[in-house]
Amino acid sequence: MNIDLLTLVTFFPALGILLLLFIPKDKADTIKSLSLIIAFVTFLISLFLYGAFDPIANGMQLEVNLPWISSFGISYHMGIDGISLLMIILTTILTVLAILASWNSITEGVKGYYISMLLLQVGMIGVFCALDLFLFYVFWELMLIPMYFIIGMWGGPRKLYAAIKFVLFTMFGSLLMLVAIMFILFEYQSVTGEFSFDMLKIISSLSFGYQEQLWLFAAFALAFAIKVPLFPFHTWLPDAHVQAPTAGSVILAGVLLKMGTYGFIRICLPMFPDATITFIPYISVLAVIAIIYGALVAMVQKDVKSLVAFSSVSHMGFIMLGIFALNIQGLEGAVMQMINHGISTGALFLLVGMIYERRHTRLIEDFGGIAKVMPVFSVVFMIVTLSSIGLPLTNGFVGEFLILLGTFKANVWYAVFAATGVVFSACYMLWMYQRVFYGDVTKEENKKLLDLDLREKVILLPLIILIFWIGIYPKPFFDKIEPAVKNVLEQVSHASSVRLTDDYEIIAIDKEQPGQEKLTLNLSEESDKK
Amino acid sequence: MSEYLYLIPLFPLIGFIINGLLMGRLSKSIVSIIACGSVFISFLISLFSFLELKSLPVANRLLEQTLFTWIPSGDFHVSFGYLLDPLSAVMILVVTGVGFLIHVYSTGYMSHDPGYQRFFTYLNLFMFSMLTLVLGDNFLLMFVGWEGVGLCSYLLIGFWFHKQSATDAGKKAFIVNRIGDFGFLLGMFIIFWHIGSLNFVDVVAKAPEVFVYGGAVVTTACILLFIGATGKSAQIPLYVWLPDAMEGPTPVSALIHAATMVTAGVYMVVRTNVLFVIAPDALMTVAVIGAATAFFAATIGLAQNDIKRVLAYSTVSQLGYMFLACGVAAFTAGVFHLMTHAFFKALLFLGAGSVIHGMSDEQDMRNMGGLRKYMPVTFKTMFVATLAIAGIPGLSGFFSKDEILWKSFSSQFGHPLFWVIGVVTAALTAFYMFRLVYLTFYGKERMSAEAKSHIHESPKSMTVPLIVLAVLSVIGGWVGIPHIFGVTNYFEHWLEPVMAQTASASGAEGHALLAGGGDAGMEITLMVVSVLLVLISIFCAYLLYNKKTEISTSLANKLSGVKSLLLNKYYVDELYGGIVIRPVIYLSLFLWKVFDVVIIDGLINGMAGWYGDISDTFRKGQTGRVRTYATVFMFGVLMIIAYMIMDI
């Protein structure tokens, strides 16, 4: 039998869950090792996926399309483009690292914990592969359950509050999304006479009226914006991060937040192009607010983990801004930044987790002078810090730069305000670094801290390599992303009020006058010639 | 024949990687061999490439090497590529040459420091970044070096990271630089979206066609780039980080905060001179900021007591000179002063380091005095440097400073007022430098007996670089002797290819500016005036700080208000703290504690609470008593029946 790669990569962790069920719950080591092996093999499969992926081909690849519940037109339709491909690999890498990071810190309910992790992985990969709205929704909700348990059972002191807040926020959004999906289903039936949830079919054969688009876009956008999280829907995030165990935070920041931005790219933009154009200013302004707001609030946090959480709000704002720049640079930068944020913030949470395991505190004021006692840890932390503030030759710069470059073309003022984030990120990260790592060791408990051990180094090394690889030679990644991004832009250009230029820029038709191509730049040459 | 260009930054990078990865596992001598050796090889290759460039016909003096595509995104393509032209050739020689000397010096200066290897690791990383900055063939690669040197500056200022003041200074340097980078980034965006490339060669070729002379776009772009330059090169209003940067080890101050990194802003303006000459308003801004900074920083330098702080403000002031030169479109003069300043200011800092080293880490000049007999080599070399910076005829500083003064007067972008500010600043410079020399090396020995017993001349590894730099401080200016002395100005000729493009860019204006203009008689007169003023102010310094020190005390008492204003640096740090930093912190706290917690979460929890209240109310109906249920049930049935009857 010929099992296709996408099914394999998605459900291999589920196979692992089946195996885990047969292992007695007191055999913690076996459970841990088996989960690690499963996660690692999943990672290897995702590398095969990378090999099988054709960077030049347009559209979806490695598609599988089987009927599932035919009476409602629900199909098992999977397929990936360059964006999903990279997100899948990010997921598989981070899952391996998250499992390694839980090795010593999760001591109770080990079996349930690792089953949750693997189940979470099924959901995440599934979302990135699904091309059927119903399937998408199933995977989307599937992620929620294990994450709820990971936070609620293995979390910190206020874990229940955080877990419930997380679930309620997310459920609120996804309910509206479900309504919107149903609406699309019936709309499709009224046009074509049959039921279908197939995204590709919907995009190609349905064109919604403007009013409908606005409502549908809003419903999906709310679900995704909560997930991102876009200001002002972000307040669940700091609580969830602070209470979640390290691995939970890593997956949450690294992958789950990307579901929101991925949803915008995969569903909102192609399906509702007119609404997308209408919503540009609103979402862009919220994104700019998120960038500055997240950074400012991060600056005054007392807990390192909530500082990183608020920095995520800021970074995710950049990604949203890049997506709604609607040009190649902005979108590619955004996709790149989705990966980068997974790497950098993932690494930051891992690092914070490592020091937490030693000191059982994350308050900045409890540290000081750590550079003296844990030199290797400090160097790694510095590298990740630099990547987070987007220093050139680290991954963070590539994404942030392209986002700002693209945004600048779309709207100068968004770019100007967003670029202040470059300054603020340096403020909050370096200030935190200074208070934690520099100075004299003032606390007795900090004097005997052990530096990183082998397991921890193994966890961090791949991320460090990725930080520099993407920072120095990101071309292989861009080669994968570019066709997908162009495809999205082409779909958005179906909106009635815009057209696509040869260099894949979306410009408004009604404002367009002959000889004035550069109208989107406020500082146009017209003003010069007077 | 340019396939080897990448080797110039590569060697320090290799040094960084080896020393960095084998941290704590190498002996000090191996560390220093790797660190100094890699820079020395870079220097040799730079020299070789310089000679090769020189052997080419003037029109072809441009070597390029593209290594690989760095960021490809749609139409946006940026490569990792290096560019050697007369301008970057001068820069790499200064950077690797002075850099090598400072590396050697550091082997002596840092010999007792437990962070020896870490120090050299950072230093090599700095060399790599700085060379990438000057050799990069496009804006973005320059930006890589630009941020890279900023990082190294941050790490090295905060090198002694147990000191709060040091890490504060490092952080301040990085953040203030980032404010400048904000401008740099936006400037790059304008350039890319108009020219379609960030490559210097493309920009030079296309800018004159794309941009309108004096247009708003090019002016905005130039001013944004210049904001970047004010951050890196410590100009008003972003100069505040440089004096604090003196918290770093003294070789760092010499290398990064005097000779190389801080001149990056000047280099950037010169590199993009093609844009600036078509934006006269931007040029004017550069000149005004440069002149203002030169004067302003010099006044602060008059009152400082910390030997390194005097030099720091002096550096800010001299950088102001360089920008003044750029602002009057005398880019060659700016680069010339950049080079001579690298020699004598590096020497001054290293000399100060030698003093600090010999005085057991004392930096306050009030606790020094009479050191010339204990430290003869340090004294002599520093004295030479002081003469050079003061602009005594014949020494390097004289030629470069004089050229700037003359151009600020005679250039078509110049103005007599610029000249006046320049000359007054030159007099102030001479004054505070001789004050420094007199306080340190002459007069009463004011140090404690304990400190006195340890005073010693520095080891060879430190004094030899001092001597080499002293020689350079004397002869370094001889390559650029003005035409009026009847000799060829080699320096100007050398940089002509870079500036010639400028000339063609701005058409008639450019040619006028290259031709110079003004008459020789005027040039001589102005020169004599400035030299006389300098001599007078040296004499004043002699009187106040050597001959009749009581006058300076009584003067200080009379002018105590002015003195404390200067000593406290016009309270600019306090001002920034009050109007920028604290409000931002308070705003952030407000956003967090009020907006996030009270408003957003309050709304949401409020909604949840409201929902809960409603549920509570309804719950009360669920009493569990069958009689109640039956009553309600009956009531309901009656209602339905009543409804049906009425309907009929």
Contact A401 B584 (CB under 8 A): no
Q: State the Cα–Cα distance between residues A484 and A55, nearest whole angstrom.
A: 9
Set of chain B residues whose Cβ sits within 8 Å of the Cβ of A437? 161
Contact A423 B179 (CB under 8 A): yes
Q: What angle do CA B65, B69, B74 make, to 5 degrees?
A: 135
Nearest chain A CA: its distance from B499 CA (Å):
25
How high is the pLDDT of residue A285? 95
Going from the C-alpha of B297 to that of each of A164, B319, B428, B541, B566, the distances in angstroms are 59, 10, 10, 18, 10
Nearest chain B CA: its distance from A227 CA (Å):
16
A160 inside 8 A of chain B by CB: no
How many percent of chain A have pLDDT more than 70? 95
Residue of B nearest to A169 (CA): B604
Contact B185 A422 (CB under 8 A): yes
Contact A475 B174 (CB under 8 A): no
CA atoms within 13 A of residue A494's CA, in its CB half-sphere: 20
Mean pLDDT of chain B: 87
Nearest chain A CA: its distance from B328 CA (Å):
23
Set of chain A residues whose Cβ sits within 8 Å of the Cβ of B22? none
For A:49-68, CB contacts with B below 8 A are none
Contact A438 B212 (CB under 8 A): no
Q: B340-369, pLDDT tens digit by residue?
A: 999 999 999 999 999 988 888 888 888 888
**Residue from B73, B175, B592 to probe the interface with A (highest A Cβ count within 10 Å):** B73
Contact B591 A297 (CB under 8 A): yes
Of A235, A438, A504, the CB nearest to B167: A438
Going from the C-alpha of B14 to that of each of A205, B34, B43, B155, the distances in angstroms are 58, 9, 15, 19
Q: A74-109, pLDDT tens digit by residue?
A: 889 999 999 999 999 999 999 999 999 998 888 888
The secondary structure of residue B620, as a DSSP letter, is: T
Q: State the Cα–Cα distance between residues A530 and B579, nearest whole angstrom.
A: 39
Predicted confidence (pLDDT) at residue B417 exceeds the cutoff of 50:
yes
Is residue B283 within 8 Å of residue B413, measured between CB atoms? Answer: yes
Contacts of A491-499 with C-beta under 8 Å, sequence gap 24+, read A491/A203, A491/A269, A491/A270, A491/A273, A492/A269, A492/A270, A492/A273, A492/A276, A492/A277, A492/A326, A493/A273, A494/A207, A494/A273, A495/A273, A495/A274, A495/A276, A495/A277, A496/A274, A497/A274, A497/A277, A498/A273, A498/A277
Closest CA to B422 of B436, B403, B396: B403
Q: State the Cα–Cα distance between residues A120 and B593, nearest whole angstrom.
A: 33
Contact B71 A297 (CB under 8 A): no
Contact B190 A528 (CB under 8 A): no
A367 inside 8 A of chain B by CB: no
How high is the pLDDT of residue B614? 87
A476 inside 8 A of chain B by CB: no
Match 């009927």 to its residue by tokens.
A67
Contact B186 A419 (CB under 8 A): yes
Q: B212-237, pLDDT tens digit by residue?
A: 888 899 999 999 999 999 999 999 88
Where does the pLDDT of residue B317 fall: very low under 50, low under 70, confident under 90, or very high at 90 and above? very high
How many percent of chain B have pLDDT more than 70? 97
Q: A463-484, pLDDT tens digit by residue?
A: 999 999 999 999 999 998 998 9
Q: State the Cα–Cα distance between residues B518 and B406, nearest whole angstrom.
A: 9
Is residue B335 within 8 Å of residue B266, measured between CB atoms? Answer: yes
Set of chain B residues whose Cβ sits within 8 Å of the Cβ of A333? 73
Of A300, A332, A503, the CB nearest to B585: A300
Average pLDDT on B150-165 reads 91
Q: State the Cα–Cα distance between residues A388 and A421, nearest whole angstrom.
A: 12
Closest CA to B153 of B286, B235, B259: B259
Nearest chain A CA: its distance from B607 CA (Å):
12
Set of chain B residues whose Cβ sits within 8 Å of the Cβ of A422? 178, 181-182, 185
Contacts of B245 (CB under 8 A, 6+ apart): B153, B157, B169, B170, B173, B253, B256, B257, B312
Splitting chain A (530 residues) into consecutive groups of 10 residues, what average pLDDT does each group show? Answer: 78 91 87 92 92 82 86 88 93 94 87 92 94 92 92 88 89 90 88 84 82 91 92 89 91 92 92 90 94 93 92 94 92 95 94 90 89 92 94 93 93 93 92 91 85 91 95 92 89 80 74 45 43
Is residue A515 within 8 Å of residue A502, measured between CB atoms? Answer: no
Residue of A nearest to B214 (CA): A528
Q: What angle do CA A216, A317, A333 make, to 5 degrees?
A: 95
A439 inside 8 A of chain B by CB: yes
Average pLDDT on B579-600 reads 84
Q: State the Cα–Cα distance between residues B436 and B369, nearest whole angstrom.
A: 10
Total count of residues recorded for chain A: 530
A413 inside 8 A of chain B by CB: no
Closest CA to B434 of B321, B363, B537, B317: B537
**Exposed/middle/buried for residue B129 (C-beta within 10 Å: 0-12, 13-18, 19+):** buried
Contact B174 A426 (CB under 8 A): yes
Phi, psi of A487 (to 5 degrees): -60, -45
Task: Tell me the ipTM for this assembly.
Answer: 0.89
Is residue A162 within 8 Å of residue A242, measured between CB atoms? Answer: yes
Contact B604 A375 (CB under 8 A): no
Listed in sequence order, the DSSP H helices in A198-272 are 199-205, 210-227, 236-243, 246-251, 257-263, 269-271
3-state secondary structure of B256: helix
Set of chain B residues whose Cβ sits within 8 Å of the Cβ of A423? 175, 178-179, 181-182
Q: State the Cα–Cα distance between residues A293 and B591, nearest whole angstrom.
A: 8
How high is the pLDDT of residue A528? 44
Listed in sequence order, the DSSP H helices in B304-448 are 307-327, 331-358, 376-390, 396-410, 416-441
Contact A393 B171 (CB under 8 A): no
**Exposed/middle/buried for residue A42 (C-beta within 10 Å: 0-12, 13-18, 19+):** buried
**Exposed/middle/buried for residue A15 (C-beta within 10 Å: 0-12, 13-18, 19+):** middle
Set of chain B residues whose Cβ sits within 8 Å of the Cβ of A503? 74-75
The alpha carbon of residue B76 and the mean position of all alpha carbons in its chain are separated, in whole angstroms, by 29
Q: State the Cα–Cα distance between residues A41 and A255, nearest whole angstrom.
A: 19
A434 inside 8 A of chain B by CB: yes
Q: State the Cα–Cα distance between residues B521 and B406, nearest whole angstrom.
A: 12
Q: State the Cα–Cα distance between residues A521 and B637, nearest whole angstrom.
A: 71
Contacts of B564 (CB under 8 A, 6+ apart): none
CA end-to-end distance (rounded Å), chain A: 72
Strands B76-84 and A498-500: unpaired
Set of chain A residues whose Cβ sits within 8 Å of the Cβ of B136? none
Q: Left if phi > 0, otherwise alpha if psi is -120 to 50, otherwise beta: which for B625?
A: beta
Q: Which two tokens stand for residue A100?
A: 């390694």
What type of residue is A183? F
Q: B276-313, pLDDT tens digit by residue?
A: 988 889 999 999 999 999 999 999 988 888 899 999 99
How high is the pLDDT of residue B501? 54
Predicted confidence (pLDDT) at residue B381 exceeds the cutoff of 70:
yes
Residue of B nearest to A428 (CA): B175
How high is the pLDDT of residue A129? 92
Closest CA to B386 of B266, B474, B480: B474
How high is the pLDDT of residue A98? 93
Of A332, A438, A529, the CB nearest to B161: A438
A289 inside 8 A of chain B by CB: no
Contacts of A435 (CB under 8 A, 6+ apart): A364, A365, A367, A368
Is residue A106 within 8 Å of residue A143, measured between CB atoms? Answer: no
A528 inside 8 A of chain B by CB: yes
The secondary structure of residue B457, as a DSSP letter, is: P
Q: Which two tokens stand for residue B253?
A: 């101050």
Nearest chain A CA: its distance from B287 CA (Å):
23
3-state secondary structure of B306: strand
Set of chain A residues whose Cβ sits within 8 Å of the Cβ of B175? 423, 426-427, 430
For A:89-148, CB contacts with B below 8 A are none
Secondary structure of B197-244 in HEC code, one letter for each residue: CCEHHHHHHHHHHHCCCCCHHHHHHHHHHHHHHHHHCCCCCCCCHHHH
Q: Left if phi > 0, otherwise alpha if psi is -120 to 50, otherwise beta: which for B443?
A: left
